[in-house]
Amino acid sequence: MSASREARLVQYAALIRKWNSAINLVAPASLAQLEQRHIADSAQLARLHPDPQGPWLDIGSGGGLPGLVVAIFHPELPVQLVDSDRRKVAFLQTAIRELGLANCTATAARIEELPPADAANLSARALAPLDRLVPYLDRHLAQDGTAWLMKGRNWQTELTAARRNWRFDAEIHPSTTDPAAAILQISNIRHG
Ligand SMILES: C[S@@+](CC[C@H](N)C(=O)[O-])C[C@H]1O[C@@H](n2cnc3c(N)ncnc32)[C@H](O)[C@@H]1O
């Protein structure tokens, strides 16, 4: 890992720990395992997609997971973080400035109200069930774009439910940080 990437990841973890009691960026009980449970978990996207195209849109970013981690791994990639919580976006803007991530922006908005982003890549973690996410993907992904959705243990049930109203291609990547979780790689979305 490059020195600046490693230094930024350490600095990012320190910022989350500093702000967490005020804003609740991650569940307090998980703070002790921040590096593994949240940062390494998010870094899986960089491993799965080592040379991504932009723009990359991260929706419901919260404290920057996974979008800010993607921006750290790919400092040339334009990454937009979006969250409806203004306090979290204030944290993200501070983190972006302090980490010197010129490639990354943070926007306070509801994802439903954001103009279509035409994103080449889109990520979301712990935001909503898949059937509620797919309309966001339909609105914000470029026609040949790809979504990277970090899902918990119910991912199979969510996939079945989403397929009732939508058709899409899905590739399943088992999570390396949680054996029950998966990363869903979704593309070619059509109304079903
Ligand atoms: C459970 S948190 C997950 C945050 C982060 N992705 C993570 O994995 O730690 C969900 C986040 O989505 C944001 N959110 C929920 N609904 C939203 C919407 N409609 N538009 C934008 N952000 C939304 C919330 O403010 C919150 O920060």
Q: For 22-31, what is each residue's pLDDT tens digit?
A: 999 999 999 9
Mind spelling out the 3-state secondary structure of 56-90? EEEECCCCCCCHHHHHHHCCCCCEEEEECCHHHHH
Best residue for ligand 1 mutational test, from 39, 84, 107, 123 (most atoms within 8 Å of Cβ): 84
For the segment 76-116, what is each residue's pLDDT rounded down to a tens digit? Answer: 999 999 999 999 999 999 999 999 999 999 999 999 999 99
Is residue 121 within 8 Å of 54, Cβ to Cβ?
Answer: yes
Q: What beta strand segments (E) does 3-140 contain?
A: 56-59, 79-83, 104-108, 119-125
Rg of the chain over all Cα atoms, to the nearest angstrom: 16
User: Would you list the domain boundaries of the chain?
Assistant: 3-191
CATH class, range 3-191 = alpha beta
| pLDDT (tens digit per residue) in 57-77 | 999 999 999 999 999 999 999
Assess whether the C-beta atom of 52 lies below 6 angstroms from ligand 1: no
Instruction: Write out pLDDT tens, residues 27-44.
Output: 999 999 999 999 999 999
Q: Pairing state of beta strands 141-151 and 182-191?
A: antiparallel
Report the C-alpha gap between 14 and 35 in whole angstroms. 10
Q: Which residue's alpha carbon is at the smallest distance from atom 4 of ligand 1?
A: 62
Angstrom distances, CA of residue 55 to CA of 74, 77, 146: 12, 7, 11
pLDDT at 117 over 90: yes
C-alpha of residue 3 to centroid of ligand 1, in Å: 30
Q: State if residue 60 touches ligand 1 by the CB under 6 angstroms criterion.
A: yes
The ipTM estimated for the assembled molecules is 0.99
Average pLDDT over residues 47-64: 95
Q: Is the CB of 64 under 6 A from ligand 1?
A: no
Q: How far is the CA of 66 from the centre of ligand 1 (A)?
A: 11
pTM of the entire structure? 0.97
Ligand 1 neighbourhood includes 84 CB (under 6 angstroms): yes
pLDDT for res 191: 85
Q: Please check the confidence at residue 137 and state whether its pLDDT lies above 90.
A: yes
pLDDT given for residue 3 in this prediction? 66
User: Which residues are within 8 A (CB) of 25 and not within 5 positions of it... i.e. 6 or more apart?
Assistant: 16, 19, 62, 63, 64, 88, 91
- State mean pLDDT over 11-19: 98
How far does the centroid of ligand 1 lie from the alpha carbon of residue 60, in Å?
Answer: 3
Q: Which residues are annotated as a binding site for S-adenosyl-L-methionine?
A: 60, 65, 111-112, 125
